[in-house]
A and B are shown apart, each in its own frame.
Chain A
Amino acid sequence: MMEALTLLDLTQLVRNRLRREFPDTYWISAEISECKEHFSGHCYLELVQKRDNSEALCAKARATIWANTWVNLKPAFEQQTGVRLQAGQKIMAEVAVDFHELYGFSLVIRDIDPTYTIGDLSLRRQQVIRQLTEDGVFELNKELEWPVLPKRIAVISSPSAAGYEDFMDQLHHNELGIPFHTDFFAATMQGDAAAASIIDALNAVQASGEEFDVVVIIRGGGATTDLRCFDEYELCYYCAQYPLPLLTGIGHDRDSSVLDLVAHTSVKTPTAAAEHLIDCVSTEAYRLDANLDKLQQRATQLLDAYKRKLQTNTERLRRNTSEGIHRANVQVERNQAELYRRANQLVLVRKQDAESKATRLSHRVQTLMELQKHRLTLLESRLETFSPEIMIKRGFSLTLHQGKILKSVQGLKPGTELQTRLKDGTIYSTIIQTDTTHD
């Protein structure tokens, strides 16, 4: 009868053989499918390898990082990669092959090269970015118009995060006293649940019915080792298409997360996010002030210009008026002169007329007077012929008989007494003889 080996014998055999055959350590690349930190300080992982371009596994192995290794490895890894060691990560690790009678085949991880993981993360990040770009959503949130005055703010954060406190403090106690309205929407800001939680919060912002100018996503505080969630395609795809501009202040020192890249604006920290909002409003306020100044200046300028123009016009008006008055005066004077001339002319005509009439009158009067004088003279001379005195003065004499003037010899007889009147006396005579004829 063959003596059978006990299970232990065999497994010890395998272990011893393995230890002999694999005395060295090996650098392997693998993907972490599970990762658990034990309270004892050890870290237990499951490493897998998938077939090219498929999810199907082609190799799998348990791996252990002993506490004494892990205590140094963990911070070094996290510091350099910015992420914790976790499922889904690809790592390059220095491993020793081990076999345990009870637990079977496993690998003992002695070291991990973080640059490999960084490269892998970066690669995956690039893939996400490429995908978002191909989807045509990468720039969408950036293309939204950033509000001129971002004052109504939805804040998505973890309520316990120190970053949230910093943000609120900075925002509400700004030096300029600018009032901001903030509504808080709680979300898990790290780990696997973060992406879905942030999406839920964004939905809640939408569903709140409030009108917000911007949505601020801040993480702040705590370990900076778990930012991978902000690179997740689903979250970034959702955020990129979000209808309000996003401001991220996730708080990291290395490369921006993909969420930062798709967000409208991203700053390093929650405090910086608050400062950015304050800057936006104050810049606008200063701009308004400046514009107000400009407006005032311009108004003053215009007013001055109008004043000058008014003055000019007033002067012109005055000048024109005085010119007009002057012209009118000249006209009046001219008219006066004309009137005077015409009047003089008329007066002259009348005067001439009057004078000619006067002359005629004068002539007529003179003629009439002459006529009268002539008549008078005529009457005088006629009268003279009847005047005995005048006749006597001329040398004629009057012979009277019994007081009557003798005009004939008829009836006179010699011896009749006669009186003959002369200029200076009377002759008394007696008729001697009469004769009817003169000699």
Chain B
Amino acid sequence: MTEKKFSYNAAMAEVEQILDALSKNDPDVDELTRQVKRATELLQACKQKLYETDVEIQAVFEEK
């Protein structure tokens, strides 16, 4: 990952962008693979972010 700071929204937007691109264009297999790999990574990151957020929220709730 090149981004210094991870942005969930940006990641999601990029995933959608990739998906949209994949729907319209007709990339070769390597490009496709690369794009899917990229999107998958982003989704994994988003998942991780969601998980972390969940944990943080639970922690915040439990602080009370």
Q: Chain A interface (Cβ within 8 Å of chain B)?
A: 354, 358, 362, 365, 369, 372-373, 375-376, 379-380, 382-383, 386-389, 398, 400, 403-405
Expressed in whole angstroms, the minimum distance between the Cβ of A79 and any Cβ of chain B is 139
For the complex, what is the distance from the CA of A107 to the CA of B57, rounded to whole Å? 170
A351 and chain B: residue at smallest CB distance: B64
Q: Contact between A403 and B28 (Cβ–Cβ < 8 Å)? A: yes
Nearest CB to that of A407 among chain B residues? Answer: B26
Selected from A354, A358, A372, A403, the residue in CB contact (under 8 A) with B50 is: A372
- If the complex has contacts A372-B46, A373-B50, are A383 and B12 also in contact, measured as CB distance less than 8 A? no
1/0 per residue, CB under 8 A from A, across B43-64: the answer is 1001100100110010001001
Question: Do A376 and B36 form a contact, CB below 8 Å, given A382-B19, A403-B29?
Answer: no
> Are A365's CB and B57's CB within 8 A?
yes
List 3 A-B pairs, minimum CB-CB distance, nearest first.
Answer: A387-B36, A386-B22, A383-B39
A342–B40 alpha-carbon span in the complex (Å): 56
User: CB-defined interface of B5-40 with A at 8 Å, one 1/0 digit per residue?
Assistant: 000100010011011001000001100110110011
Contact assessment for B28 and A404 in the assembled complex, using a CB-CB cutoff below 8 Å: yes
Q: With A365-B57, A372-B50, A386-B22 as given contacts, are A379 and B43 in contact (CB-CB < 8 Å)?
A: yes
A379 adjacent to B19 (CB under 8 Å): yes
Distance in Å: Cβ of A420 to nearest Cβ of chain B: 13
Neighbouring B residues of A365 by C-beta, 8 Å = 57
Binding site for A on B (CB under 8 A): 8, 12, 15-16, 18-19, 22, 28-29, 32-33, 35-36, 39-40, 43, 46-47, 50, 53-54, 57, 61, 64
Q: Is the interface of B mostly helix, strand, loop or mixed?
A: helix
Q: What are 8 A-B pairs with beta-carbon distances under 8 A?
A: A358-B61, A362-B61, A365-B57, A375-B12, A376-B43, A376-B50, A380-B40, A403-B29
Given contacts A369-B50, A404-B28, contact A386 B43 (CB under 8 A): no
Cα distance A404–B53 when bound, in Å? 42
User: Are B19 and A386 in contact (CB-based, < 8 A)?
Assistant: yes
Q: A383-B40, A388-B33, A403-B28 are in contact. List 20 more A-B contacts (CB 8 A).
A: A358-B61, A358-B64, A362-B57, A369-B50, A373-B47, A373-B50, A376-B43, A379-B16, A379-B19, A380-B40, A382-B19, A383-B36, A383-B39, A386-B35, A387-B32, A387-B33, A389-B33, A403-B29, A405-B28, A405-B29
Q: How far is the CB of B21 from chain A (nearest CB, A)?
A: 10
